[in-house]
């Protein structure tokens, strides 16, 4: 592939190519790191997923696709996948829709909208771990503020994180709370790039607020909407920190995500082959979903 | 979809009725509609204001609990603030965790990896945007392709590599694998491409080589992009959880997020100590955010616009 491209370069290239090109020194550190810590591990991870690979054992038995068939019949994996997909769907849609609503409300710059933007963005800079810990104790039945305030207005609070029915929805709500500010900021930045005269022209043509939003704002926001949706989806599928710190996957696996299960198999039970198979299934799902999203939202048309 | 249509309608809905009012005929109907829109607009401001408070109250509560005694908290959990302020939470977290060491580790990890990443990514971005070399396209495609690889796919083999190198529980093990990122290269390449070519020509005429061009011309002219990347990368690593959790298991080498999570899952945890720990681990980013809000927002927004 590289050799095919050489003739298209300018003739002068050939002469200077003979002596050493210092460009290679500039790309060397990054390329070495990418080769050692990303490219090679991908291949190795695929190779490991075909083995019964326990840490500490001297030889690793080749098992073909046995890890994958075992995964296919593993109900704990299917549960983790269901949790992850439900979380991803709800959180990415919630985050983008609410982020769009908030951004369009806070579009004009006034002192109070600036203040509100800061407030909505603030949880985004905190770590998922800190957010998870704070919410775990905010929802605590004994010391939590949420239950205490609900009790004060006469509502008997449910057991948020201890209930099998409510634990996942509660984690999803916290996921949206944490990330909605990110969507808002990206969409606001994109909204501010829409030329004002587009709105003026639309208004002259008699377009009301809704038609202006549909026909001017939304099309202009399409790349940003695509970006935030893809990021939210990929982040959702990699769900780990939040459930680890809020519920540790409980109650009885009702919030266990795919990456939590991977961590459990790989770094607690040290079944590296099986963990690699989980990782590859996750990889294929992420690639597939991103490809579909890029297609549906037709990135190329806009770009 | 329904929520955002309602809000955005109301967001801009206040203006058209005002224009229509003078036209006479439908004035009454329009005035009634205008009043309804105004009521709706007021309501949406209430909703968005309450939402904004809901973003901050958990952090205020965290601060309150950090400076509150246990009996005080159990007696009246509905209070946001302590009755009696106490430093016992801060003292407890420093006693029960090697807290100074944890802060140092997190700084060394996030700061070291971010600085190296800025250096390596900017070098690569410079070569990709300002120089020409054999295989340039292939290198760029390879880097873009790694953008699609989730970290979880590589974590098991990378763990084994670090194990064989003896780099587990070490700064180099934490930092080196994080010292480059495809996203960083991509964003800096975009920033460098937007700098005018005349800069290169002028410095070449002055006899500058690639190194001078990179260090004296391109980097100083791309300071805003570098600053934005520094901030978002530092914040991401400061908050990172899975990576430090995998690479370290010795509490003296851990970073704040991993140590706090393990601390929070111990039974009979001291709430004041835990919230003090959370507050201290959040403080550097919160202060940086308030001081450098523009760069934070630009860094995040730019990664979206490109």
Query: Of B39, B57, B86, which residue constitutes the final position of a domain?
Result: B86
ipTM: 0.86
- Which helix (H) or strand (E) is A73 found in, with range? none
**pLDDT attached to residue A34:** 94
- Assess whether pLDDT exceeds 80 at residue B62: yes
- What are the chain B neighbours of A248 within 8 Å (beta carbons)? 265
In a domain, A120, yes or no: yes
Kindly state whether residues B116 and B98 are assigned to the same domain.
yes
> Which pLDDT score is estimated for B127?
96
SS3 A62: strand
CB under 8 Å to A212, separation ≥6 — which residues?
A199, A202, A203, B12
Ranges in chain A, pLDDT < 50: 1-13, 16-17, 301-303
Of A30, A106, A144, the CB nearest to B180: A30
How many inter-chain contacts (A to B, CB under 8 Å) are there?
Answer: 309
Residues of A in contact with B120 (CB under 8 A): 29-30, 33
Interval B151-187: pLDDT, tens: 889 999 999 999 999 999 999 999 999 999 998 999 8
The verdict on B149 and B74 lying in the same domain is no
Distance of CA B87 to the CA centre of its chain: 29
The count of domains in chain B is: 2
B35 and B152 share one domain: no
| Average pLDDT over all residues of chain A | 87
Together in a domain, B49 and B162:
no
Instruction: Extract the tokens encoding A74.
Output: 């593993």
Residue B281 and residue A127: Cβ atoms within 8 Å? yes
Both B294 and B203 in one domain: the answer is yes
What percent of chain B lies above the pLDDT cut of 90?
A: 50
Under an 8 A CB cutoff, do B13 and A209 touch?
A: yes
> Residue A107: its pLDDT value, please?
87
Residues B112-126: pLDDT tens digits? 999 999 999 999 999
Out of B132, B152, B180, whose CB is closest to A29?
B180
Pick A279's closest partner by Cβ from B123, B152, B286: B152
pLDDT band at B61 (very low <50, low <70, confident <90, very high): very high
In this predicted structure, what is the pLDDT of residue A7? 46
B148 and B266 part of one domain: yes
Q: Are A61 and A51 in contact (CB under 8 A)?
A: yes
Q: Is residue A246 situated within a structural domain?
A: yes
CB neighbour class for A168 (10 Å; exposed up to 12, middle 13-18, buried from 19): buried
> Residue B26 has what pLDDT?
54
The CA distance from A137 to the nearest CA of chain B, in Å, is 8
Q: Do B26 and B138 fall into the same domain?
A: no
Is any Cβ of chain B less than 8 angstroms from the Cβ of A244? yes
Q: Which of A86, A272, A108, A298 is nearest to A196 (CA)?
A: A108
Q: What HEC string does B204-253 produce?
A: HHCCCCHHHHHHHHHHHHCHHHHHHHHHHHHHHHHHCCHHHHHHCCCCCC
Cβ contacts (< 8 Å) between A261 and chain B: which residues? none
Q: B185: number of CA atoms within 13 Å, CB side?
A: 29
List pLDDT tens digits, range A61-85: 888 899 999 999 999 999 999 999 9
Say whether B305 sits in a helix, a strand or coil. Answer: helix
Backbone angles phi and psi of B13, in degrees to 5: -70, -15
Residue B56 has pLDDT above 80, yes or no: yes
Contact B153 A45 (CB under 8 A): yes
Residue B13 binned pLDDT confidence (cut-offs 50, 70, 90): very low
Min Cα separation A99/chain B (Å): 9
Q: How close does chain A come to B108, measured CA to CA in Å? A: 17
| Residue B111 shares a structural domain with residue B52 | no
| Residues from chain B contacting residue A144 (CB–CB below 8 Å) | 77
pLDDT of residue B284 exceeding 70, the answer is yes
Residue of B nearest to A204 (CA): B16
Q: Choose the final residue of a domain: B43, B61, B86.
A: B86
Q: Which domain holds residue A89?
A: 73-302
Which residues on chain B are in Cβ contact (under 8 Å) with A27? 123-124, 127-128, 133, 139
In this complex, which of A23, A118, A133 lies closest to B127 when CB atoms are compared? A23
Strand partners, A62: A51
Q: Is residue A64 part of a domain?
A: no
One domain for residues B141 and B17:
no
- Residue A232 in domain: yes
Owning domain of residue B167: 90-305
**Mean pLDDT confidence for B23-45:** 71
* Nearest-CB residue to A127 (from B257, B274, B300): B257
Q: Which domain CATH number covers B205? A: 1.10.3720.10
Q: Please give the residue of chain B at the shortest CA–CA distance from A189.
A: B301
Look up the CATH number of the domain holding residue A115. 1.10.3720.10
Total domains in the fold of chain A: 1
Assess whether B82 and B100 both reside in one domain.
Answer: no
Interface membership of A34 toward B (CB under 8 Å): yes
Give the whole-angstrom CA distance, residue A100 versus residue A112.
Answer: 18
Domain assignment present for A1: no
Residue B208: predicted pLDDT: 87
Of A36, A101, A279, the CB nearest to B7: A101
CB within 8 Å: B53 and A44 = no
Final residue belonging to a domain, choices B86, B109, B125: B86
- In the stretch 101-140 of chain A, residues with CB closer than 8 A to chain B read 101-102, 104-107, 115-116, 118-138
First-to-last CA distance in chain A? 26
Same domain, residue pair B164 and B258: yes
Residue pair A270/A54 in contact (Cβ under 8 Å)? The answer is yes
Considering CB atoms only, which of A98, A128, A144 is closest to B241?
A128
Residue A293 lies in a domain: yes
Task: Examine residue A4 and state whether it is found in any structural domain, yes or no.
Answer: no
pLDDT score at B29: 62
Considering the domain architecture, whether residues B198 and B240 belong to the same structural domain is answered as yes
For residue B302, the model assigns a pLDDT of 67
Q: Do B51 and A55 touch (CB under 8 A)?
A: no
Whether A23 has its CB under 8 Å from any CB of chain B: the answer is yes
Q: Give the least confident one: A282-296, B113-127, B215-229, B236-250.
A: A282-296
pLDDT score for A298:
62
Element (H, E) at A108: none
B213 CB-near residues (< 8 Å, 6+ apart): B130, B200, B203, B204
- Domain-located, residue A22: no
Q: If you average pLDDT over every residue of chain B, what do you get?
A: 84
């Amino acid at each position: 592939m590289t050799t095919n491209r050489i003739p298209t370069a300018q003739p002068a290239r050939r002469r200077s190519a003979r002596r050493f090109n210092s460009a290679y020194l500039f790309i060397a550190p990054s390329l070495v790191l990418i080769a050692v810590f990303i490219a090679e591990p991908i291949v190795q991870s695929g190779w490991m997923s075909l083995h019964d690979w326990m840490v500490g054992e001297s030889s690793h038995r080749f098992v073909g696709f046995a890890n994958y068939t075992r995964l296919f019949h593993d109900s704990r994996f299917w549960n983790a996948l269901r949790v992850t997909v439900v979380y991803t769907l709800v959180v990415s849609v919630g985050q983008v829709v609410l982020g769009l609503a908030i951004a369009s409300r806070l579009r004009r710059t006034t002192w109070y909208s600036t203040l509100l933007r800061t407030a909505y963005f603030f949880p985004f800079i905190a770590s998922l771990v800190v957010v998870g810990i704070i919410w775990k104790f905010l929802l605590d039945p004994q010391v939590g503020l949420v239950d205490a305030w609900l009790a004060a207005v006469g509502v008997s609070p449910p057991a948020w994180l201890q209930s099998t029915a409510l634990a996942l929805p509660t984690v999803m709500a916290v996921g949206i709370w944490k990330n909605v500010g990110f969507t808002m900021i990206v969409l606001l930045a994109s909204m501010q790039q829409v030329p004002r005269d587009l709105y003026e022209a639309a208004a002259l043509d008699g377009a009301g607020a809704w038609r202006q939003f549909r026909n001017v704002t939304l099309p202009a926001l399409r790349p940003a909407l695509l970006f935030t949706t893809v990021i939210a989806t990929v982040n959702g599928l990699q769900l780990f920190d939040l459930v680890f710190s809020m519920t540790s996957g409980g109650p009885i696996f009702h919030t266990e995500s795919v990456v939590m299960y991977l961590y459990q198999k790989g770094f607690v039970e040290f079944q590296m082959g099986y963990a690699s198979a989980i990782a590859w299934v996750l990889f294929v799902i992420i690639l597939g979903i991103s490809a579909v999203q890029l297609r549906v939202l037709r990135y190329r048309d806009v770009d | 979809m329904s929520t955002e249509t309602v809000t955005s309608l109301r967001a801009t809905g206040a203006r058209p009725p005002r224009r229509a009012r003078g036209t006479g005929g439908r004035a009454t109907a329009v005035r009634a509609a205008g009043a309804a829109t105004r009521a709706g607009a007021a309501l949406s401001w209430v909703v968005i204001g309450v939402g904004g408070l809901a973003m901050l109250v958990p952090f205020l509560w965290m601060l309150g609990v950090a400076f509150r005694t246990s009996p005080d908290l159990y007696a009246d959990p509905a209070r946001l603030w302590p009755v009696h302020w106490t430093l016992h939470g801060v003292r407890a977290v420093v006693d029960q965790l090697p807290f100074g060491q944890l802060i140092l580790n997190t700084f060394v990890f996030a700061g070291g990896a971010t600085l190296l990443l800025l250096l390596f990514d900017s070098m690569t971005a410079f070569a990709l945007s300002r120089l020409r070399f054999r295989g340039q396209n292939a290198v760029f495609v390879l880097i873009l392709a790694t953008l699609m690889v989730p970290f979880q796919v590589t974590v098991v083999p990378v763990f084994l590599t670090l194990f064989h190198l003896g780099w587990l529980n070490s700064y180099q093990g934490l930092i080196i694998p994080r010292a480059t990122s495809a996203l960083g290269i991509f964003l800096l390449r975009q920033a460098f491409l937007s700098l005018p070519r005349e800069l290169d020509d002028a410095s070449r005429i002055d006899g500058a080589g690639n190194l001078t061009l990179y260090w004296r011309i391109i980097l100083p002219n791309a300071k805003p992009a570098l600053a934005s990347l520094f901030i978002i990368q530092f914040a991401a690593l400061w908050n990172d959880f899975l990576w430090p959790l995998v690479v370290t298991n010795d509490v003296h080498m851990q970073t704040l997020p991993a140590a706090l999570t393990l601390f929070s899952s111990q039974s009979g945890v001291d709430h004041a100590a835990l919230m003090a720990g959370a507050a201290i681990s959040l403080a550097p980013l919160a202060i940086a955010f308030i001081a450098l809000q523009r760069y934070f927002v630009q860094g995040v927004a730019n990664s979206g616009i490109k």
